[in-house]
Amino acid sequence: MPLFFLLMIFPLFFLSISVSNSETIYKIKDNEGNFIFTNVVPENGDFEIISSHTTAYEKYDENNIIIKSGNSRDSDKRDIKIQEQENLNAKFRNKAIEIRNRELNIKSKIRVTKQNIIELKEKIDDLLIEGYFADHDIFELNRQKSILSTLEKELVLLKEEKLNLKKEARKNGVLPGVLRVN
């Protein structure tokens, strides 16, 4: 009897684990046309169930009634949608990485330029204290200040570009975490 009991309970235990680990993700389009992804069942509105843990695909209307339920053809369409979304995610992630690399490059140039300015100021002070002319060094100092100003403007433009990328990604249904670059 105990063996029979174990044979009946054991499969149910694993079935309950696999069901509890699959989380449903809902895709909703808001009034501004942005996509919102959530694991909370929406109360109303048109939404889709997007979940990488199941092969089912269901689309609901505003009354939470299934409009379309998955079958093998829907599953194939869903796989294509997942692949398209992954490609879109990769496209936006590559853009985010490119922006981050340019940002790091500009910040590095800013640090070097600031250090050059500090060294030139010290050199100019020393030359003037000793009674020498520092025309060339003053010209170079002004040039370095101009370079610094240009780099800081580029950094501001890059931040705007990053913000625009986030907005564009959101409108295309890309999750915010895709754009996070270390």
Domain coverage including residue 141: 85-182
- Split at pLDDT 50, 70, 90, the class of 39 is confident
What is the pLDDT at residue 13? 46
More confident residue, 78 or 125: 125
Residues 119 and 154 in one domain: yes
Give the mean pLDDT of 8-26.
Answer: 51
Q: Residue 106 belongs to what H/E stretch? A: helix 72-130
User: For 103-119, what is each residue's pLDDT tens digit?
Assistant: 999 999 999 999 999 99
Give the mean pLDDT of 15-40.
Answer: 64
pLDDT at residue 62 above 60?
no
Q: For residue 84, what are the CA distances in angstroms to 61, 62, 80, 109?
A: 24, 26, 6, 38
Q: For residue 70, what are the CA distances in angstroms to 45, 73, 75, 173?
A: 20, 8, 6, 21
Dist. CA 39–CA 24, nearest whole Å:
6
pLDDT at residue 144 above 70?
yes
Residues 95 and 73 in one domain: no
pLDDT at residue 176 above 90?
no
What is the model's pTM? 0.56
Residue 4 in domain:
no
Out of 11, 42, 77, a domain closes at: 77
Dist. CA 34–CA 48, nearest whole Å:
14
